[in-house]
Structure 1
Amino acid sequence: MIALPFLKSVAPPLQGKRIYLRPPTLSDYRAWASLRAESREFLAPWEPLWAVDDLERGAFRHRIRHYDDEAAAGTAHPFFLFRNTDQRLLGGITLGNIRRGVGQNGMIGYWIGAPFAGQGFMHEALSLLIPYAFTKVRLHRLEAACIPSNERSIRLLEKAGFQREGLLRSYLKINGMWQDHLLFALIEDDARAGK
């Protein structure tokens, strides 16, 4: 079997000025469950409905196993965001739905804990993930989708250089309802040119 350079099972930590990104591990459970519980009301409008056992250790273990399987298959690179000063978990960002062949693209999804929203942490996370996606994972196109009323997410994506491409009707079941999403994309050449 030939090893492909873009198929790495474990992503390296990505270091920024105020935060770093690293793949989630089982040892993150308590910090993750605490932050998610504290942020539930804040996150609910933008996420699928949570399972009854979503914050339990067994569900987290299953989540980590799923992350590991996707990373090993080369279809996703999940990361948690941590603050440099105190290693506090702030949120998560995933480069997922990676498609190879003629497409060479992936989808970015993210969440931030309520206490840390609006402080630029997710913008820094995107600033770390974008070059990683284009240089290390060797993608050509990144996509992100958000609900049209999620003004914070729209501003974040536009600030990171993503361009709005269109409307995806009834795209994802969020907060128990099928919701339209705006599609944003960033092309490798645009990112290099600083567009």
Structure 2
Amino acid sequence: MIRLLGSGLISPPAVRLDGPRCYIRPPLPRDWREWADLRAESRAFLTPWEPTWPADALTRSSFTRRLRRQAQEWRDDEGYSFLAFDRPTDTMVGGLGLSNVRRGVAQMATLGYWAGRPYARRGYVSAATRLVLDFAFGQLGLHRVEAACLPTNEASRGLLEKVGFTHEGYARGYLRIDGTWRDHVLYAMLREEWRD
């Protein structure tokens, strides 16, 4: 269970959110090998939709730096990263998170996600997204969660619409994906629209 401590949260390793099909939890140092293997196996599948991978993207030291940054984001209430696992087998299937958390009058965050190639289009990411939305609107008390994807990414668009996001617009040169500034379609969900 997450504990609120003054102005911040957390002990990320203690957080686990369970659904019928999968569960999500923050990454731990022991996840490096499984994470690196899944990302390596899925590289050609993922790179058209992601920022350019640095040369050391899958190394243990890079993963350790990533974990330190993510732990700091949890402590500072700036971002919440999770890995997703198949519930019966404890097999890692992908990852997702909330970034760019804005408080004050905004109370919003940006959703991002990925699935390993063997687990894509099998319902894992939509199930994990529902868990993250419960966390965002419940535990974090956010009012709005935004997401963006490439216009050609039919799987991602379908996932967002299936979970209940509303298409809100089109942003030119929105994110640098695979080395190129790319247009994105924009989606969002408000707390009052969320129903699991």
| TM band (smaller chain) | over 0.9
Report how far residue 99 of structure 1 moved: 0.1
2:142 maps to 139
1:57 maps to 60
- Match of residue 98, structure 2, among 89, 95, 98: 95
Task: Indicate whether 1:154 and 2:157 are aligned.
Answer: yes
What residue identity is the alignment partner of 2:120?
A
1:130 maps to 133
| Structure 1 residue runs without a partner (length 5+) | none
Task: Measure, in 2, the Cα distance between the counterparts of 1:101 and 1:127.
Answer: 24
Task: Measure, in 2, the Cα distance between the counterparts of 1:170 and 1:144.
Answer: 15
- Superposed, 1:2-81 pairs within 5 Å as 3-4=6-7, 7-11=8-12, 12-81=15-84
TM-score, reference length from structure 2: 0.94
Task: Measure, in 2, the Cα distance between the counterparts of 1:174 and 1:9.
Answer: 31
What residue identity is the alignment partner of 1:10?
S
| RMSD of aligned Cα (Å) | 1.2
Could you list the structure 1 runs, at least 4 aligned residues long, displaced by more than 6 angstroms after superposition: none
- Match of residue 104, structure 1, among 104, 107, 117: 107
Task: Measure, in 1, the Cα distance between the counterparts of 2:119 and 2:11.
Answer: 27
Report how far residue 126 of structure 1 moved: 1.1
Aligned residues: 190
Report how far residue 9 of structure 1 moved: 2.6
2:168 maps to 165
Task: Indicate whether 1:82 and 2:113 are aligned.
Answer: no
Report how far residue 10 of structure 1 moved: 3.0
| Structure 2 residue runs without a partner (length 5+) | none
TM-score, reference length from structure 1: 0.95
Counterpart contact for 1:13–1:22, Cα < 8 Å: yes
2:122 maps to 119
Counterpart contact for 1:10–1:23, Cα < 8 Å: no
Task: Measure, in 2, the Cα distance between the counterparts of 1:156 and 1:167.
Answer: 17
- Mean Cα displacement is larger for which, 7-16 or 163-172? 7-16
Report how far residue 127 of structure 1 moved: 1.2
Aligned-pair identity in percent equals 44
Report how far residue 117 of structure 1 moved: 0.4
